[in-house]
Amino acid sequence: MESTPPNSTQQVVSSEGGTPNNPTKKERKKRMKKHLWLWAIIVALLVAASPSLIDRWNAEQHSDQYEIIIPYEEIQIAANGTDYTIDELLQQFKSNGLDNVSLEPLTLKSLEENGIVTVDTEFELASLLRFTEFENQVDLTKRGYYISVPQDSNYQTLLEDTLQVGKVAFGDRQFYFLPKKHPYLLTSPLGFDPVAIETITNNDLDYTFRVPNDPDVEINKNIVNQVIQLKTDRVDGILPLGNQVIGAGHPNRDELIQALYHAGYYFYLVEEAQLKEGGAIGKITDYNVIRVHSINPNDTYVEGLGIKGQTERAARAVKERNIRSIFFHIKKEGDLDVNVENATAFLAGLEDKMPAKYSLGEPKLFEKVQVPAWALGLLLIASVLFVYIASEILMVKWLRYAAVGFVALLGAAYILLNKIIFLQAVALCIAVIAPSYAVIKTAKGTTKISGLLVQYVKAAAITIVGIALVVSLLNGNMFITKYEVFRGVIFVYALPIFALFLHAVVKHFDIDFRNGRDTMQKIIRLGNLNMKYWHVALLLVIAAVGFFYIGRTGNSGISFSFELAFRDWLEQTLYVRPRTKEFLIGFPLFVLGLYVLKSNPLLGRIFLIGGVIGFLSIMNTFNHLHIPLDLSIIRTVYGLVFGFIFGLIFIAIYKGVVRFWTPLKKRWL
């Protein structure tokens, strides 16, 4: 049972006989009628602004093709170390799903490694010519590199057009002389391998250029010009090489990106890669980009997943994160024949793992998704109204008005300054408030299944309205492609739990914040309560649970092997797995809390603190704005349905524990 509040101060009674924490029936009815009108307005505004959300749905549904890319350089390494020819490998990979090959630009160093040229300094060449008729003919005062003239005319043309250097001859051997102070270094990008391009094209495959950012402005210009000249129907994509976009740090960055975009190229962006000044690509190309997921068995962890794990990971990236290109690396070390077999198995296995909705082919850019200014205006009004309704849980009028005014100010700042950070701040406020208000508003104890279901649906509906506001506000290609994201995920995980904790304290001790003297007296008395050993133990347990809970958030959260196996089983069975924190923790605790609330208010409110986890979790599901809407909806429906069922199971377990505990308590305590 609930303990008696430690105070003797008279409660502040409203003019109609209720208290702030326990309003009268007449007060509740009046408030409900007012709120119904506001809810109707919010829903109407959401419906009016829904065309943009429908556009996002359609854009995600129509983008139903994915491709697999393998680096040409790694295919070349495999061919050199096995009995396969490059053509044989390309055909083998193609027959198993490969449709695109990436190409890195040639450098003098790579040409030398591949045996196409030799590169010697003046001293090295002089040493080689010692004891020949050309001894002492190398001018050692001229510092630089002597590059042998390649036999293939394609490479000759590439070197001569790019380096613009003269030839020197020693007998019948000719060399290009590259002065030491020449802008091109041994590792500077020269251009793309014409022989490789011809080989790829002859095997009926597409290719993608990997474009680096060179410190020299002119070299970047030359690369861009070459790429534009090489544009054909076989090549459409540019994948940045390294961690910088071309032109990063240079004044002509935007000019280079625009030139490539206007030539008909789109850009690839590798998921989770930190690309310096990569934001420029999105703004210049209007977010016409393809998201890429990299599978690299050269990484120990990825190799440890095995082919099955790698294909599942790649398929999940396409299905769950709007990835449309898989960049697969062939392992460079070890048994190259085995590495080729593994690459072939990955290609074949991925198609088997991929949902039927997706097919191999050239990835489609997302259709244009825009939120017009008038729609954003309606959504901001709806957001302010939502905060006004939800702020009733604050009880103090000035605090309520401050919350509403703050959100209104953020919306006005976005309209005036057009800074996306203000829109993200509004969305964060909604995302924190919605699950908190949903649980507090529906925290009415009942032991009837029908009553539990009604309150459960109400809490879900309130949260879903908040979700609709967040998803509608943060809508557009910039969010689908993850150029912009929902900011403040950690606050959504933590603040609603803190809000429910405060609510439990306020309700248990019947604190009225409108009466400052009464509030201070109760807080002082609360602070003077004796601390017992079990209190300390409980706090330590709560701290450990909190640390574990926060540690499980995000993509790098803590997970156990049996849990991962259970998740995989759920995903294979249901297509999309519901989140365990929803249907096994949050929602069941919410249902249990409602059931216990009437007989044991304190314990019921403790359960509701855990119950809010379910609602903040579905909010966070939709806050991952690069995840397809249909997948998030399916996942949430599963979570809600299974969560209620497990809630009834929790109630049955609770009743059994009570029946067992009651006689023991009477006998021993």
- Which residues does residue 147 pair with via DSSP β-bridges, in sequence order? 119, 176
Q: CA 85, CA 67: separation in Å to the nearest integer?
A: 23
| Burial tier of 287 (Cβ tally within 10 Å: 0-12, 13-18, 19+) | buried
pLDDT at 6: 45
Q: What is the DSSP letter of 364?
A: P
Scan for tokens 């809600």, then name that residue: 640
Query: Does pLDDT of 648 surpass 50?
Result: yes
Show Cβ contacts of residue 546 under 8 Å, excluding neighbours closer than 6 positions: none
Statement: residue 21 has pLDDT above 80? no
With beta carbons less than 8 A apart as the criterion, state whether 465 and 387 touch. no
- Whole-number percent of the chain with pLDDT over 90: 70
The pLDDT value given to residue 7: 43
pLDDT band at 135 (very low <50, low <70, confident <90, very high): confident
Structure tokens at 586: 């949050």
What pLDDT, on the 0 to 100 scale, is given for residue 3? 42
- Amino acid 645: pLDDT: 97
Q: What is the mean pLDDT of residues 344-358?
A: 93
Biggest CA–CA distance in the chain, Å, is: 116
**Looking at residue 556, what is its pLDDT?**
46
Q: Is the pLDDT of residue 448 over 70?
A: yes
* Neighbour count for residue 435 (Cβ, 10 Å): 31
Instruction: Give the DSSP per-residue string, 94-155.
Output: HHTT--EEEEPPB-HHHHHHTTS--EEEHHHHHHHTTTSTTTT-S-TTS-EEEEEPPSSHHH
Instruction: Please state, in angstroms and rounded to a whole number, the distance separating the CA atoms of residues 592 and 652.
Output: 9
Mean pLDDT score across all residues of the chain: 88
Nearest to 490 by CA among 557, 426, 438, 535: 557
pLDDT value, residue 171 = 79
d(CA 467, CA 482): 18
For residues 374 and 127, which has the higher predicted lDDT (pLDDT)?
374
For position 441, what pLDDT does the model report?
94
Q: Report how far residue 522's alpha carbon sits from residue 525's, in angstroms, rounded to the nearest whole number.
A: 5
Mean pLDDT, residues 611-624: 95
Residue-wise pLDDT tens digits, 142-157: 899 999 999 999 999 9
pLDDT computed for residue 544 by the predictor: 63
CA atoms within 13 A on the CB side of 282: 17
The model carries a pTM of 0.86
pLDDT in tens, 170-189: 877 899 999 988 999 999 99
Angle at which helices 397-417 and 420-441 cross, to 10°:
150
pLDDT (tens digit, 9 = 90+) per residue, 211-237?
999 999 999 999 999 999 999 999 999
How do 359-360 and 65-71 pair as beta strands?
Answer: parallel
Q: What is the mean pLDDT of residues 524-535?
A: 62
Q: What is the pLDDT of residues 73-84, one digit of tens each?
A: 999 999 999 999
Q: In this prediction, what percent of the chain has a pLDDT beyond 70?
A: 86
3-state class (DSSP) for residue 613: helix
- Among positive and negative, which fits the CA dihedral 599, 602, 608, 610? negative
Residue 554 one-letter amino acid: G
Residue 527, amino acid? G
Closest CA to 68 of 343, 333, 272: 343
213 neighbors 246 (Cβ within 8 angstroms): yes
Distances (CA, A) of 123 to 110, 115, 149, 324: 21, 21, 19, 51
Poorest-pLDDT segment among 9-18, 96-105, 149-158, 509-518: 9-18
DSSP-based helix, strand, coil % in the chain, nearest 5: 60, 10, 30
* Region of 171 on the Ramachandran plot (φ > 0 left; ψ -120 to 50 alpha; else beta): left
> Which tokens sit at 256?
């280079």
Amino acid at 473: L
Residues in the chain: 669
Residue 554 has pLDDT above 80, yes or no: no
Q: Is pLDDT of 509 > 80?
A: no
613, HSE (Cβ side, Cα atoms, 13 Å): 24
Q: What is the DSSP letter of 427?
A: H
Quick: pLDDT tens for 232-241.
999 999 999 9
CA atoms within 13 A on the CB side of 536: 4
- Higher pLDDT: 560 or 604? It is 604
Q: Above 90 in pLDDT, residue 46?
A: yes
360-411 confidence digits (pLDDT tens): 999 999 999 999 999 999 999 999 999 999 998 887 788 889 999 999 999 9
CB-based contact 620:645 (threshold 8 Å): no
Q: What is the pLDDT of residue 487?
A: 93
Mean pLDDT within 418-441: 96
Give the model's confidence band at 571: pLDDT under 50 very low, under 70 low, under 90 confident, else very high: confident
